[in-house]
Chain A
């Protein structure tokens, strides 16, 4: 394992999004990518911080970059889209404005690291070649729409990630391990994010729009790269169905879970049992299809 990344899981991957944590690690393991968790990492502050204090919202992510540097690492991988965005924003703003960089340094009581890169797993997995050769399981029944959400690509000036209105990184990655992904127009529409805690009505409407479009294009699963999107689409799907008197039954996967399945990670090692919308039926039909084809 030569490639080494400092791993910043963020709070969600240690709680509500633990499936993302286990499946991300499992895929890294399969592909021989070395990751090391940042010792003593702290919360990035997420939306409540940037809605309350600009300096706080930049100092909290930077503390983690300082910790990574202390470990001798320059590449930080952050699977959570919100953490990824906050870490990249902090670097961007400090680079743009030396005065704010000075303030961050003062708030942390230490100098800021000179060169640190923050990466999404989508970037580190697509860097490696030979994914096709590593495929161990065909999943012919899956028709997935990739839902990138807001924070992987926006704001484009800061994130510098893929095409901000119609990204393809996740589609290409899943296609390279043999999974069918469909074109659709809701890739980067918002699910309502943290409004679920306070204005659930908004989240139910926005997620319904996403489910409707996914069904319209013929998808039978949605792939995500953000733990907040996952909570809103998976745990609240039943609530949406009740509110609008519809039936979706759409399993929501982290893209790392789908990669794990394709690369032959045992199903019970990917945290699928934690999902509210069961993935069993879909994956069973997928195995059956494979047997019939074989």
Chain B
């Protein structure tokens, strides 16, 4: 085996998939680890952002798609802002979640996935976020009925939560959701 065949390797399929989903080229990463150093949530992650990027480059699909890291990302964009190679790390986190869901991987932090689903279902139906409905939707998905019950009651008493949804724009959001879904389905099959 010559040296050239050793060094010229095609990028992993996972890196390709991340690129298609987000336009981000993880191969630009040179592991300076600024993203990991600045991440406020990295202490709770199983792999630091820089490690996850490296795993994507290696094509370690199982590790990446089952990692808690992207599901703990708070989308604060510190990593994206500080990356010297201008890799939008937060967008890579989004892409990994989108790919994992598409591949049918069970989300490693199910309550976060439930929150996304509850929130989007709510926006689709109501046009604007109807917090009370979203909270009920989340609880029906997580079965954690007592979490923040006291806090919710106090917010309600303070008039911070609406009793009735506005439904303004509900038809518009419903249409947009449907068209986006149709577009994404069409794109996946081609």
Contact = CB atoms under 8 A, between A and B. Distances in A.
A150 B131 contact: no
B85 to A, nearest CB: 13
B119 A193 contact: no
Contacts of B176: 56, 59-60, 63, 107-108
Contact of A155 (B88, B97, B151, B172): B88
B138 A14 contact: no
Contacts of B80: 154-155
B23 interface: yes
A15 B131 contact: yes
Given A11-B129, A190-B76, A192-B40, A51 B173 contact: no
9 closest A-B pairs by beta carbon, nearest first, are A190-B76, A11-B129, A42-B169, A154-B77, A48-B119, A150-B76, A48-B116, A190-B40, A198-B111
Contacts of A136: none
B163 to A, nearest CB: 10
B44 A199 contact: yes
Contacts of B138: 197
Contacts of B111: 198-199
Given A197-B115, A206-B40, A109 B78 contact: no
Interface stretch (B5-13, B25-33, B51-59, B153-161): B153-161
Contact of A11 (B21, B23, B101, B128): B128
Give the residue among B97, B101, B123, B131 with the most A Cβ atoms within 10 A.
Answer: B123
Nearest to A197: B115
A151 B168 CA distance: 26
Interface in B11-50: 21-23, 40-41, 44
Contacts of A75: none
A104 to B, nearest CB: 10
A32 B120 CA distance: 37
Contact of A50 (B76, B94, B112): B94
Interface residues on B, range: 35 or more
Contacts of A276: 154, 158
Contacts of B160: 15-16, 18, 235, 274
Classify the interface of chain B: helix, strand, loop or mixed: helix
Interface string B163-190: 0001011001101110110011000000
Interface string A20-50: 0000000000000000000011110111111
A16 B131 contact: yes
Nearest to A188: B78
A32 to B, nearest CB: 29
Nearest to B173: A42
Nearest to B82: A165
Contacts of B127: 42-43
Contact of A14 (B119, B120, B162): B162
A51 B97 contact: yes
Given A43-B127, A43-B128, A55-B180, A190 B120 contact: no
Nearest to B21: A54
Contacts of A192: 40-41, 74
B23 A97 contact: yes
Give the residue among A108, A194, A197 with the most B Cβ atoms within 10 A.
Answer: A197
Given A42-B173, A48-B120, 6 more contacts: A15-B160, A46-B119, A50-B94, A155-B90, A193-B76, A202-B41
A124 interface: no
6 contacts: A42-B123, A43-B127, A49-B123, A51-B94, A54-B94, A239-B151
